[in-house]
Structure 1
């Protein structure tokens, strides 16, 4: 089983057992230890994976970090674990910070079993950085995350290789966060940059305020256009995978819906909604169920939890969010992005039990 399959298996376990993972110890047993095992370390060998590793800090004796990972008789990784419901805040990182300089490890991991933050001493030797150089969520893990994570696997671990790329990872991650902030709320510096590039007159305060709105809208339209272009490209790629023979029950079901045609626009709309939803839930929970009159997009394939309905079968397109019953006209599939907050709120309402 590949590393990505092992990580997805852990994420699936969480989805099924979340209600039973209520403590830090349960988080360690159900999520963190399987994660360490997925990297190839023997969690049952205390000379390789050391639980409750003692890391004396100054006058504080007996301070313990949750796990220390050894390779070639050297401590290479420290794990500090929190409950899976915990937000990983600075005060949690400060605990790992205290242990970091007392061991020979160059890497520390702060985790709640779902989100993993990898720290090192890129800025100053033997002093853990304030910000992680690598971070991911196992519920939304991508190929680039797996490629970096493989470097920490037992068979691949190379201190020099990781250190050489850690600073690039850190700064690229910070750059992405900066771009996200600018797209959400453009800074004065960015607004003035675009004013200088585009506007020929004097940059008065009304012009700055006008461009503030234009920059935000322009950035988001640009991002949405790029996403939509990628989706269209993916939809246009022919598939060569063989189609399995349907079972008898499946064949009957297909006969019953043989006159239902899912159009390319409905496929595209589904992928747009899935991209919006993945910011609040695992995208695997977003299911498309087409009908004769509309294309339904459901949470957990549950008819009682419609995320939205796509009414694309007439000349005029509409979307219906949640159970509102209100059809909102749109001109293009891209316009679904204009309703991102309402779609995400619909999902959050189902998650909180606000809509039954």
Structure 2
């Protein structure tokens, strides 16, 4: 089973059970050990997973960390667990004390839902105060799953993870900074933009006025980008559906082209021949509708007639090639949509001859 499926299954289990989990010990067994299992380690094999791991800490004897994951006889990850109801805080954590007396390069602090992975990027053999990888197992993104996969038994490579940890750490901090600036732009962030477009002196009053403008501009820019992606996806899906319709094998015995459909086609031709040669206006009858196309190309629908049901409809296409149906009492009503049909032709002309 792929790791993303296993993690999704564990997240579903956590959401179902957490209201019934009351203690730290229950959190370990219900949430943390299954996560260790997802990483490919056998929690019941004392050569791989050692519970209540003990190391000598100077004068302090017998202090324990919840788990140590071993590989080739050496601990590679030490794990400290909290109850799922507790917030994670690394202060006073036994992970700090254990880190420098073991050969491990990685420490994990978790409450079974939130996970924080630490290493020693700042000072060698001394655990960093900030995690380089942090996530909520119930709200995972694909790039985070890729990072978790590096800790899998089959993939584990200390040098690879440590070399990537620095990038993860700084990316996480930069994303936090961006989020903070978008919510409430700082003076420096505001001046970065205002200084390039404002010709006067950047007084405190001007900077304060620009803060609101910068925040609105960035928000609108992000929204525009999202809308562009959504529209592109919708257009792609429309083309895909049209392609599927093109390759659909129709049962010719079930397709009956009626005289009314042909009359409707002639009306459309009469409207569009002012912009197009008649030879370019082609109909294609299907079981569900009577389609009229430009150049017999299913990606260039001009309109569709739905005349065989209880009600009659005309399908028109906007500049995103999105279909919209309008009710018509008879085929003569097609004349009422002359402008819309001619605009559809203009759309394809624009595609062929962009400005």
- Aligning the two structures, in what range does the TM-score lie when normalised by the shorter sequence? 0.5 to 0.7
Equivalent residue of 1:110, what SS? strand
**Offset at residue 227 of structure 1 (A):** 3.3
Corresponding residue for residue 123 of structure 1: 122
| Normalised TM-score (structure 1) | 0.64
Residues in 2 aligned to 1:23 and 1:193: alpha-carbon distance in whole angstroms: 50
Residues in 2 aligned to 1:135 and 1:163: alpha-carbon distance in whole angstroms: 15
Describe the superposition over 1:194-244 as per-residue Cα deviations: whole angstroms up to 9, x where unpaired.
Answer: 22122111001110110111222222233333334334444444378x9xx
Unmatched runs of 5 consecutive residues or more in structure 1:
243-356
- Structure 1's consecutive aligned runs of 4 or more residues displaced over 4 angstroms after TM superposition are none
Q: 1:209 to 1:120 in 2, by over 3 A?
A: same
Equivalent residue of 1:91, what SS? coil
| Normalised TM-score (structure 2) | 0.64
Describe the superposition over 1:75-134 as per-residue Cα deviations: whole angstroms up to 9, x where unpaired.
Answer: 100111111122212426x43222211111000111111111111001110011111111
Alpha carbons 2:90, 2:109 under 8 Å: kept: no
**Offset at residue 26 of structure 1 (A):** 1.3
RMSD over aligned CA atoms reads 2.0
Corresponding residue for residue 3 of structure 2: 3
Q: 1:182 to 1:235 in 2, by over 3 A?
A: same
Q: 1:89 to 1:186 in 2, by over 3 A?
A: farther
Describe the superposition over 1:290-336 as per-residue Cα deviations: whole angstroms up to 9, x where unpaired.
Answer: xxxxxxxxxxxxxxxxxxxxxxxxxxxxxxxxxxxxxxxxxxxxxxx
Q: 1:59 to 1:148 in 2, by over 3 A?
A: same
Q: Which has the larger radius of gyration?
A: 2
Q: Superposition pairs for residues 41-190 of structure 1, below 5 Å?
A: 41-91=41-91, 94-190=93-189
Residues in 2 aligned to 1:235 and 1:136: alpha-carbon distance in whole angstroms: 31
Corresponding residue for residue 23 of structure 1: 23
Unmatched runs of 5 consecutive residues or more in structure 2:
245-355
Q: 1:89 to 1:229 in 2, by over 3 A?
A: farther
Q: 1:232 to 1:151 in 2, by over 3 A?
A: same
Q: How many residues matched?
A: 241
Residues in 2 aligned to 1:13 and 1:200: alpha-carbon distance in whole angstroms: 59
